[in-house]
Structure 1
Amino acid sequence: MYQEKIITPPSGYLTFVLFLALLAGGIFALAVEQFAVGAVALALNFILVLPGLIINNPNESKVLTLFGKYVGTVKTDGFFWVNPLTVKKKVSLKARNLNGHQIKVNDKLGNPIEIAAVVVWQVQETAKAMFAVEDYHQYVNIQSEAAVRHLANIFPYDNFEDEEATITLKDGAEKVSSLLEAELSERLSRAGIEVVEARISHLAYAQEIASAMLQRQQATAVIAARKLIVEGAVGMVEMALERLSEKNIVELDEERKAAMVSNLLVVLCGDRNVQPVVNTGTLYN
């Protein structure tokens, strides 16, 4: 595995002055019919001097190789001169966004879901990015998709079917993003890539089960609401009976209490407006 070696080559300004001097000298030699001297000066100028001049912009680097051997990486921005025989490959050090495609995968419980992620990454070690993998751009794309698939397989979408799940894809956004970032950092370290941030950008049930899952969620919400209403209604009925008994407003036998409880529960738990009924008789007639 290649380790990055940062080098700082000499300034290119003095070399550029030498280039201009050799250019002027070669033209002058040709003008005075010193063809051999002029040809040699111009040949050296355009073969050895000019090809070695490089401009390195901010947040860019130049990876240098000489006859198949890694020489070093220039990360300092500026104007430099390097060995003209080296092969110079530009590698950007800027942060980049990878907006992953929506992929269909099964969650921990086997439910088909659609998921996608956004990854912010940048090249940290240029030698690994250039020599450890074939194409580091494609490597980032494939490994990011593999990490998202693996993450979706080890967690359920929600805890409706797995109530013991402490982390879900739907509700554990921060934890899931942290785990995704850690896994991507491990996968991409081989290529010298640093993961700045990774987050889930899209999460939904697959189209073929989305309608059924929506009905299940609605039913769960209705059951939870009904449970809360019933608990509140029972408490209110209990309180009403206790207050009537404390103030001696009316004495109720078991049958009348049962009727009163039934009526109160209908009124409190019903989802429609109450229709009052005037009883002109008694419970016993």
Structure 2
Amino acid sequence: MSTSTTTSHTPEPEELPEGTPLATGTTTRPPRLIQNEVTTEIPVHLLFRDEPGPVSVPLKPDAPLKPAVVGRRQGTGEQPRLGHRAGPFRGRPVPRIDPELVERPARVLPGAAGVFAGVGGIAGCLATSWWAGVLPPLAVEALRLPAATGAGLGPEQWAAYAGAGALGLAGFGGLARGRTGRAFVLGLFGRYQGTVRRTGLLWVNPMLRRRRADVRLRHWRSEAIPAADANGVALRVAVLVVWRVRDTARALLGVEEHERYLRECVEAALARVPVEPPGGTRGATDAAGEALTRMVAADTAPVGLEVFSVQPVRVEYDPEVAAAMHRRRIAALDAQQRSVMLSSVVDSVEDTVTRLTVRGLVELDDHERGLLVRDLTVAFCSGRGEPA
């Protein structure tokens, strides 16, 4: 016997149109794509918010730039993002020098120590000669020494000669004269040992290599360097640079030629900073000088140079465009002069016609007024030496 089971089919919520009442008296919702999902409403403007987080600019130019992380806000559903650090050297290559290559004082002795060592070496050589019996009789009498036994030159005498000679050479060979505004950069087998800025007579280890450095305030006036104004017109600019060596170790050992490096930095800055053309305002020239100073100082600081001022002292057009720019400038000045002269003539004619009319000296209709204005204009322009 077969038993048939009757089941009632209830449509799924997604099969019913939206808003259809169910048996429980509720209404349907839009179908869920994921079962058991829990969603929260997020404002649209938060999804596209792009605010950089708090970052700190490194104090040292050669410090690595690390991206800053923007934290998420509670309840907004935002995820942490990486922000870009905006520093003063972003987008520009920063010269990197060995961090251990920093100027430090070298160990030296007063010059008296070298003098005493040299004199001691000479005295040792004389004593050894007297001991070996090879000292001349005149020298023996002059020094009032007793008669030598004449032991001869043996191994002991040669060893004494070597020691005394080495002492004398080390004493006199290490003497150096320190002058104001000069410094010695010392190195031993290619390794930096220190800088001597002391003055007077000094004793320096004679095995160290000495390189002189000028640490005075110096100025350099360049030749004509190619540049351009704000409109891209080619110029030739001569600049005056006031600078000095601040860190002798980096200036002499960190770069091949620090003076040449300074010149190259000045040329590179002139290629990036627009210069006021001849006849420009003083304020624009001062602004260009300040921009050049900041740029060159930032480029040369990593190699131990301190730049105080970079100022244009002579600005002229490039020879290829000088004639054309000169004609344009003359035409602009002529047009300006004509405009000023015409304004003056018009004011004078207006004042003359107004006075004649107001005082009742003449009665003019429109035609006569036009003729009078024309005659007065011709007369005033002729009196100023300009054609009507």
TM superposition score category, shorter chain reference:
0.7 to 0.9
String of CA shifts for 1:214-252, please: whole Å, max 9, x gaps: 111111111111111121122122211221122111111
One-letter amino acid matched to 1:122? R
- The correspondence for 1:128, drawn from 245, 250, 260, is 250
In the alignment, does 2:334 pair up with 1:222? yes
**Cα offset, 1:8, TM superposition:** 6.0
**Cα offset, 1:13, TM superposition:** 1.1
**Cα offset, 1:170, TM superposition:** 7.7
Q: Which residue of 1 aligns with 2:119?
A: 20
Q: How does 1:226-237 map to 2 (within 5 A)?
A: 226-237=338-349
Q: Distance in 1 between matches of 2:291 and 2:226?
A: 20
Contact in 2 for aligned 1:177/1:199 (Cα 8 Å): yes
- Length-normalised TM-score, structure 2: 0.62
Contact in 2 for aligned 1:6/1:74 (Cα 8 Å): yes
Structure 2 residue matching 1:31: 3-state secondary structure: helix
Q: How does 1:60-209 map to 2 (within 5 A)?
A: 60-151=182-273, 154-155=274-275, 157=277, 172-209=284-321
**Cα offset, 1:52, TM superposition:** 2.6
**Cα offset, 1:169, TM superposition:** 8.1
- The correspondence for 2:159, drawn from 13, 28, 36, is 36
- The correspondence for 1:51, drawn from 147, 154, 173, is 173
- Unmatched 5+ stretches in structure 1: 160-167, 275-285
In the alignment, does 2:251 pair up with 1:251? no
Structure 1 residue matching 2:312: 3-state secondary structure: strand
String of CA shifts for 1:183-233, please: whole Å, max 9, x gaps: 221121122112243221331112222122111111111111111112112
Q: CA RMSD in A?
A: 2.5
One-letter amino acid matched to 2:248? T
Q: Distance in 2 between matches of 1:230 and 1:150?
A: 42
Q: Distance in 2 between matches of 1:169 and 1:137?
A: 31
**Cα offset, 1:260, TM superposition:** 0.8
One-letter amino acid matched to 2:256? E
Q: Which has the larger radius of gyration?
A: 2
Percent identity over paired residues:
26
Q: Which residue of 2 aligns with 1:165?
A: none
Q: Distance in 1 between matches of 2:107 and 2:281?
A: 47
Contact in 1 for aligned 2:120/2:164 (Cα 8 Å): no
**Cα offset, 1:120, TM superposition:** 2.6
Q: Distance in 1 between matches of 2:268 and 2:281?
A: 16
Contact in 2 for aligned 1:22/1:45 (Cα 8 Å): yes
Identify the structure with the greater helix proportion: 1
Q: Distance in 2 between matches of 1:169 and 1:244?
A: 44
Q: Distance in 1 between matches of 2:235 and 2:105?
A: 45
**Cα offset, 1:60, TM superposition:** 0.4
Q: Distance in 2 between matches of 1:217 and 1:169?
A: 15
Structure 2 residue matching 1:32: 3-state secondary structure: helix
Q: Distance in 2 between matches of 1:15 and 1:110?
A: 63
Describe the shift of the 1:219–1:79 C-alpha distance in structure 2 as closer, same or farther (beyond 3 A): same
Contact in 2 for aligned 1:100/1:118 (Cα 8 Å): yes
Higher relative contact order (CA 8 A, sep 6+): 1
Structure 1 residue matching 2:119: 3-state secondary structure: helix
**Cα offset, 1:7, TM superposition:** 4.0
Contact in 2 for aligned 1:107/1:156 (Cα 8 Å): yes
**Cα offset, 1:181, TM superposition:** 1.9
Describe the shift of the 1:273–1:216 C-alpha distance in structure 2 as closer, same or farther (beyond 3 A): closer
Describe the shift of the 1:218–1:12 C-alpha distance in structure 2 as closer, same or farther (beyond 3 A): same
Q: Which residue of 2 aligns with 1:3?
A: 102
